[in-house]
Structure 1
């Protein structure tokens, strides 16, 4: 049955399976988590029929093997349009206080998911103008059963689709990296001596990484039932310092586009560092290729571009974060810091069948 409106019900309560004492994320009252809704969302996440031309799914730009990111510099939409931003990893997004690279007014997954589905500039899934066609396409025995399990009847509509997708992405929890085993499971040998040295540097005042990438989710942009501080987790890291009005490429001026405040030019959301070794390339525009280069970038206190259309010394950008000061590390220290960042990779997360393509499992 196809429709455009909705009321929401919930079935089997969802077990987050967090370590004892671990905080739970906020979940909207009108979209409680349930096992059935997560399973419906998993199917929708991997289904190319959700795009207007049936060539892309959510999973096309969010690959499980890459911690639900993708190895492209910037994403390409279902119509072939090249986007200006790199696809963020979907890791512990249930805890994110903000959910896009450069908008501090989008706090819920339900609202954020509207952008890739219905956005027209750029086009991602291209749903706008094709709503009834897509709903009709999904009106199958499989989805009738999944919607009935999740919502109590087989009505298929976009309100329910968004809620199911939000529930699935909210379920993408990664808490079993070597760091987690060391910090939360009390396994003293989970980290190597090199990783331990790197961890101590990461949390030191010399490097100051933890100021922006702190807490259990390694990002300042975190909220949960035990922490409700509204931290403005958007920073200009000295990536560019071009000539002109904004000291930044006008293709993408970051948070300034939403706030119109000059101090927000070049500010972008601080991403989680969980599974960061799996999510190259880096930065909002994918302009840094490797994790080793990211370390060099922060050690230098920004990036000095000496040729091309973006010539300029980002280290001197007037809006650069106070925490990006640069630091000196010898080669062994750099390798230790890199080793710690690799210790944030959760190998179970990228093969967990609960997060995998259900259509491949059916086949």
Structure 2
């Protein structure tokens, strides 16, 4: 029997509530969607969109052109897509990102899959909740340098004042003039358009296709939604991430967690070069907390964790089975859900089979430029 709502309920009441929360309608916000076609499957909610940047197909088209254009970097070496590569679910197969000057960053490149639903952006910033804010960081940040536009603003803008881009800006904004405000809004619109809901799991869970998932993946799904491994507590909901908001649900669940990756002083400290949410909040209890990312398309978004320190899904399963890594297992600030568990080899393989069932090949193939 396919995973309809009653089946999910039988797996566990808590997992049912998390997985199907988007069906419980609240009063939707009054947003200007401008007739944009999200092409979402029936029953899935639309993302929240700022009133001052409504979605449009023309804006998405402009944003896509900008996203793949190396001219957006000051030295014309790097595009947004250089780090957010479609084949890897808009992440990249590197431990940490490398900017346009060759500077290595401290954090792993996050996938942009369904980022429109994120209530918080980046790995550890509780104040960034709009893509229009976040996009300014790779464009203008000086430490670390990503696209490196700061100090080269006029030079970069001139590259987009040509006939081809003039038509794109005209269609998107009824004005052919390129400026950074419009570029940011177009980029945000394109990134919001990257929705992925056509995985084997979606076919099984939401389209009642019993054959969409393998038997191993179905067994792994039951483990995923069980209290034994407790994955669903942090990777819940239709987006498999606690950091989700949409037109029917605006509750902020504080999606940051300390997973016991480090404990360098036996008191819970993370390495000084990256201590997570505490850097923003200055609250001691936020040491080592990072946002739980979506697990959609996780099969292709290796390596894992905020610092890319786990190379494979097998490594991730072993990490959580151990309840952390090394001294991190005794980190006093570690989430209560990271308690460790015992699984047989076949169960671990089943769990990975389920995670692989979240891969949306249609999404990956359709976004290759």
Q: Normalising by structure 2, what TM-score? A: 0.90
Distance 1:179 1:226 in 2: 22
Distance 1:324 1:69 in 2: 25
Distance 2:341 2:100 in 1: 42
Could you tell me which of 191, 199, 203 is aligned with 2:213? 191
Which residue matches 2:339?
A: 325
Q: Structure 2: where are the runs of 5+ without partners?
A: 1-31
Report the CA distance between 1:21 and its aligned residue: 2.3
Q: Normalising by structure 1, what TM-score? A: 0.91
CA contact (8 A) 1:14 1:35 kept: yes
CA contact (8 A) 2:276 2:288 kept: yes
CA contact (8 A) 1:299 1:328 kept: yes
Going from structure 1 to structure 2, the CA distance change for 1:345 and 1:128 (only over 3 Å counts) comes to same
- Residue 119 of structure 2 aligns to a residue whose secondary structure is coil
Report the CA distance between 1:226 and its aligned residue: 1.0
Distance 1:356 1:169 in 2: 14
1:249 equivalent to 2:271? Answer yes
- Residue 123 of structure 1 aligns to a residue whose secondary structure is coil
1:126 equivalent to 2:140? Answer no
Q: Deviations over 1:86-111 (max 9, x none)?
A: 00000000100001101000001000
In the TM superposition, 1:208-227 aligns within 5 A as 208-227=230-249
Report the CA distance between 1:292 and its aligned residue: 0.3
Which residue matches 2:159?
A: 137
Distance 1:38 1:15 in 2: 11
Which residue matches 1:7?
A: none
- Residue 349 of structure 1 aligns to a residue whose secondary structure is helix
1:284 equivalent to 2:306? Answer yes
- Residue 348 of structure 1 aligns to a residue whose secondary structure is helix
Q: Structure 1: where are the runs of 5+ without partners?
A: 1-9, 305-312, 358-363
Distance 1:231 1:130 in 2: 39
1:339 equivalent to 2:361? Answer no
Which residue matches 1:5?
A: none
- Residue 364 of structure 2 aligns to a residue whose secondary structure is coil
Could you tell me which of 62, 75, 82 is aligned with 2:97? 75
Report the CA distance between 1:12 and its aligned residue: 6.6
Distance 1:183 1:131 in 2: 48
- Residue 351 of structure 1 aligns to a residue whose secondary structure is helix
Could you tell me which of 291, 313, 317 is aligned with 1:269? 291
